Structure 1
Amino acid sequence: MYFGRDLEELSSIPIEDWEIDELSYHHYMFSQMSPLINEQGVSLHHQVIDEIMKRGNHQHP
């Protein structure tokens, strides 16, 4: 179970400062909700994916 910061809290923090477990969890959640999210959500999901790739963690949760 995830006990980290939620998206409301993370929205005020640059994505570069998110912990890898936060990126992984929110990537998983965006993936599960992809048919339901709007353009802003899709954009944030792409930013999360890009940050995971930038850090060299190419494994999906």
Structure 2
Amino acid sequence: MYNVRDMTELLMMGKDDWKSEELTHFHNSLTQIVPYLNQEGTTILREINQEITNRGGLNKMDH
């Protein structure tokens, strides 16, 4: 079940304050639409990827 805050709320805070589930959800969602993202969307995805890396990668966050 989708149990994360929406992007509007999340964009008002640092990626380090996002829950792992939120990072994973939006990483998966944005990755699926990469060809259609504008510059801002690409920047958000890059920041999400960086925060996931900072936390040890997707495999670490699943546990």
* TM-score for the superposition, normalised by structure 2: 0.86
More helix by share: 2
Counting aligned pairs with the same residue, the percent is 32
CA distance in 2, matches of 1:42, 1:48: 10
Extract unaligned runs of 5+ from structure 1: none
CA deviations over 1:25-44 (Å, ceiling 9, x no partner)? 00000101111110100011
Extract unaligned runs of 5+ from structure 2: none
* TM-score for the superposition, normalised by structure 1: 0.89
**Runs of at least 4 residues off by over 6 Å:** none
Superposition RMSD in Å: 1.4
Higher relative contact order (CA 8 A, sep 6+): 1
Count of residues in Structure 1 that have an aligned counterpart in Structure 2: 60
